[in-house]
């Protein structure tokens, strides 16, 4: 049973210590969006050839930060987070009602093709918006993965997913999870933190930004454990970034090396 490892964090000092150790529910919140906004601005100034897409990335992060603050303590987030398995809930209509400002932002700041799609979506009614968001939320996302709709649903719903997970204080104590133990999406990146003489790796969900521990010498794509087939690439000028590749399934994941726990 996939969700058997999900547990809720109890209140109290002892349990808080446990949650720090399991790393499964680090708070992301506004700081993560702020980090993304600054990073996009910094890179846009440095790489002028990519500045249009980087400014758009910054505009998305700004929208997400505001949206997160708006819904963080809302009734809908409180109710959904109180559910035993919040990610198995139906998509709430209230979210579809808040979709238009996101479409307007993409119409203003997006690159050509997305701007066009945003305009087409804006011409649709609330029921169609609900259907698009539900298709993404109520499946693991793969049903709409190849379509442009995936971008709209994912980017718009991400602050909602983070708010629900953070408020629900979900914990993962089950076996190694190859996809996010909470929302079942693929990891988007890895994090390495110093631990004793070595380092401990965790994965970060590409959607709800949950972080969970994952063995270092295992491919998150296919489970390959042979170190020879798992090359790691680093670049001199980007010491804190590693690209962890897998020769078996030809996938890779970018991992950030943190200097503090």
Site for Zn ion in 20-59 (CB under 5 A): none
Shortest distance, position 165 Cβ to Zn ion, whole Å: 7
Report the distance separating Cα 141 and Cα 126, nearest Å.
Answer: 20
- Pick the closer one to Zn ion by CB: 80 or 208: 208
Q: Which of 210, 211, 214, 252 binds Zn ion (CB under 5 A)?
A: 210
Give me the 224-253 binding string for Zn ion, x by CB under 5 A, dash otherwise.
x---------------------x-xx----
Q: Which of 153, 205, 245, 253 binds Zn ion (CB under 5 A)?
A: 205
Q: Which long-range contacts (CB under 8 A, 24 or more apart) does 245-249 make?
A: 246/219, 246/221, 246/222, 248/219, 248/222, 248/224, 249/219, 249/221, 249/222, 249/224
Burial of 49 (0-12, 13-18, 19+ CB in 10 A): exposed
Shortest distance, position 188 Cβ to Zn ion, whole Å: 9
CA separation, residue 178 to residues 1, 87, 105, 182, 238 (Å): 15, 17, 34, 11, 27
Report the distance separating Cα 29 and Cα 32, nearest Å.
Answer: 6
Answer yes or no whether residue 219 interacts with Zn ion by CB under 5 A: yes
Shortest distance, position 187 Cβ to Zn ion, whole Å: 9
Shortest distance, position 134 Cβ to Zn ion, whole Å: 17
Answer yes or no whether residue 180 interacts with Zn ion by CB under 5 A: yes
Answer yes or no whether residue 221 interacts with Zn ion by CB under 5 A: yes
- Pick the closer one to Zn ion by CB: 106 or 246: 246
Q: With contacts defined by CB under 5 A, name the span among 27-35, 72-80, 190-198, 210-218 that binds Zn ion.
A: 210-218
CA separation, residue 207 to residues 48, 113, 126, 163, 246 (Å): 28, 23, 23, 12, 22
Q: Cβ contacts of residue 240 below 8 Å, gap of 6+? A: 256, 257, 258, 259
Q: Binding residues for Zn ion, per CB under 5 A?
A: 180, 182-183, 185, 205, 207-208, 210, 219, 221-222, 224, 246, 248-249
């Amino acid at each position: 049973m996939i969700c058997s490892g999900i547990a809720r964090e109890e209140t109290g000092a002892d349990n808080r210590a446990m949650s720090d150790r399991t790393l499964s529910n680090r708070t992301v919140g506004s700081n993560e969006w702020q980090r993304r906004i600054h990073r996009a601005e910094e890179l846009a100034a440095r790489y002028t050839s990519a500045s249009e897409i980087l400014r758009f990335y910054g505009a998305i992060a700004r929208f997400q930060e505001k949206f997160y603050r708006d819904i963080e303590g809302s009734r809908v987030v409180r109710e959904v987070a109180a559910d035993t398995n919040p990610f198995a809930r139906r998509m709430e209509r209230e979210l579809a009602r808040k979709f238009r400002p996101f479409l307007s932002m993409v119409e203003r700041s997006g690159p050509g093709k997305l701007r066009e799609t945003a305009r087409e979506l804006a011409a649709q009614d609330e029921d169609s918006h609900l259907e698009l968001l539900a298709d993404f939320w109520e499946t693991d996302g793969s049903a709409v993965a190849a379509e442009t709709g995936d971008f709209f649903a994912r980017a718009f719903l991400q602050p909602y997913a983070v708010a629900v997970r953070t408020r629900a204080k979900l914990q993962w104590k089950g076996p190694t999870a190859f996809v996010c133990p909470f929302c079942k999406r693929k990891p988007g990146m890895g994090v390495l933190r110093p631990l004793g003489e070595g380092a401990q790796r965790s994965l970060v969900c590409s959607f709800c930004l949950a972080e969970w521990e994952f063995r270092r010498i295992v491919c998150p794509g296919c489970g390959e454990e042979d170190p020879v087939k798992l090359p790691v690439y680093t670049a001199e000028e980007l010491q804190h970034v590693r690209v962890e590749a897998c020769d078996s399934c030809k996938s890779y994941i970018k991992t950030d090396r943190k200097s503090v726990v």
